């Protein structure tokens, strides 16, 4: 039996008042169960050095439902409650494997409102989706068609800070197939003046989505600051207005990155990027806002999972590789080069555009790794972290 890539199709929907109340109650119960299970696991380890797994927290959930204080957990579907315990188990697995920090408690104000349903928690027939504990199907805006004869294996319902409701259906998509092999390879240098610079010399403009709406955002935030503190209706309305501006910025940014990454993956067989530590770069007070707006991490994530889908290769070059200061013609390594220097001339007489030169060097380094795993001359003797300048292939993430 042929297996296809599983991908999520996300749609906007408009719940009835009764459905909105039921979903809001479910979100609250999911958050409550997650926090209680996290507290129980933390306490068990702190007091008794005991590790509690998913099966133990599932038994706890059964006991909690029988108490008078938590009897309201029986009013919502049990499927999202079990799923949140599985997510907590996954968080602890990642923590013990040193892939993530210790799990944090979910906040009513800051955490994402969502509930996940497996096949036993919903019914999908004739294009109508009905969730457990609901008598009517959701009013979904089918903005794009699902794959033919699609059968969702997972449904996630969420509400963002702007008050918009979304449903995401996880289905197998037979349309996602490896593309024909292409001999093209491209080096990609991320920046701020230009979002991306390719080794071909092409420069992709940075849309600066946040800057375009900065005045509107500032106005909405001033209105929010003038509202009385607390949970009043006027403050809630002003908070939603701020959230809508942020949502507009995020939607435009995501749309642009999707189009850009899809184009790059379709046109090139090998894509070489720099292994940037965006978290550390954000500590720069002068550039943090612009770096956040560029969304380099989101770009890399999209590039990697689409490369897996379509049979392409993404190679990440070590962050300490001096791509900007290395002459792509003769290989001479220059001295210090501040960010203000955008063009420079090598001793060999070649004048370089800083970003294009960096992209060409990244491509050469990536191809060297792809061919034999060797380094590319010249290498620095050491870096501030004690690492040699080695190129590495990025681990492919599951989409």
Q: Is 72 left (phi over 0), alpha (psi -120 to 50) or beta?
A: alpha
Which residues fall within 8 angstroms of residue 47, CB to CB, at 6 or more apart?
Answer: none
**189 flagged as catalytic:** yes
Residue recorded with tokens 């955490």 = 111
Q: Which residues contact 141 (CB under 8 A, 6 or more apart)?
A: 11, 12, 13, 14
Catalytic residue among 22, 189, 210, 304: 189
Count CB-CB contacts under 10 A for residue 50: 11
Burial class (CB in 10 A: 0-12, 13-18, 19+), 272: buried
Q: Provide φ and ψ at 98, rounded to 5°.
A: 65, 30
Beta-strand pair 270-274/185-190: parallel
Can you tell me the distance from the alpha carbon of 209 to that of 218, in angstroms, rounded to the nearest whole number? 14
Buried b (16+ CB within 10 A) or exposed e, 163-193: ebbebbbbbbbeebeeeeeeeebbbbbbbee
Question: What is the dihedral sign for C-alpha 120, 121, 127, 128?
Answer: positive
Do residues 245 and 216 make contact, with C-beta atoms less than 8 angstroms apart?
yes
- How far is residue 123's CA from residue 136's CA, in Å, rounded to a whole number? 11
Tally Cβ neighbours within 10 Å of residue 365.
24
**100 CB contacts (<8 Å, ≥6 apart)?**
91, 94
List the catalytic residues.
189, 274, 355
């Amino acid at each position: 039996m042929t297996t296809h890539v599983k991908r999520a199709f996300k749609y906007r929907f408009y719940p009835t008042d009764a459905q909105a109340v039921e979903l809001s109650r479910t979100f609250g119960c999911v958050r409550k169960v997650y926090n209680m299970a996290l507290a129980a696991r933390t306490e068990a380890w702190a007091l008794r050095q005991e590790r509690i797994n998913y099966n133990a927290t599932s038994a706890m959930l059964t006991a909690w439902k029988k108490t008078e204080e938590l009897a309201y957990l029986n009013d919502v579907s049990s499927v999202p409650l079990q799923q949140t315990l599985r997510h907590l188990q996954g968080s602890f697995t990642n923590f013990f494997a040193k892939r993530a920090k210790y799990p944090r408690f979910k906040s009513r104000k800051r955490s994402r409102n969502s509930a996940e349903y497996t096949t036993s928690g919903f019914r999908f027939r004739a294009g109508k989706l009905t969730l457990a504990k609901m008598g009517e199907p959701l009013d979904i805006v089918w903005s794009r068609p699902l794959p033919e004869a699609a059968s969702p294996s997972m449904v996630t319902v969420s509400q963002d800070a702007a008050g918009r409701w979304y449903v995401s259906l996880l289905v197998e998509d037979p349309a996602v197939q490896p593309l024909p092999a292409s001999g093209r390879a491209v080096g990609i240098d991320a920046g701020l003046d230009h979002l991306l610079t390719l080794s071909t010399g092409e420069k992709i403009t940075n849309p600066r989505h946040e800057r375009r709406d900065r005045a509107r955002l500032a106005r909405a935030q001033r209105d929010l600051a003038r509202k009385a503190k607390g949970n009043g209706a006027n403050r809630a309305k002003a908070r939603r207005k701020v959230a809508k501006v942020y949502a507009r910025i995020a939607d435009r940014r995501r749309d642009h990155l999707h189009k850009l990454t899809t184009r790059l993956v379709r046109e090139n067989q090998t894509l070489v990027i720099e292994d940037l530590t965006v978290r550390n770069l954000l500590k720069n007070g002068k550039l943090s806002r612009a770096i956040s707006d560029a969304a380099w991490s989101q770009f890399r994530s999209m590039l990697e999972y689409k490369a897996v889908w379509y049979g392409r290769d993404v190679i990440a070059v070590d962050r300490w590789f001096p791509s900007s200061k290395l002459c792509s013609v003769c290989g001479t390594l220059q001295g210090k080069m501040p960010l203000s220097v955008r063009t420079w001339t090598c001793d060999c007489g070649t004048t370089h555009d800083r970003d294009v030169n960096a992209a060409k060097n990244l491509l050469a380094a990536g191809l060297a790794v792809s061919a034999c795993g060797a380094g590319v001359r010249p290498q620095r003797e050491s870096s501030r972290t004690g690492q040699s300048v080695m190129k590495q292939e990025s681990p492919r993430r599951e989409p």
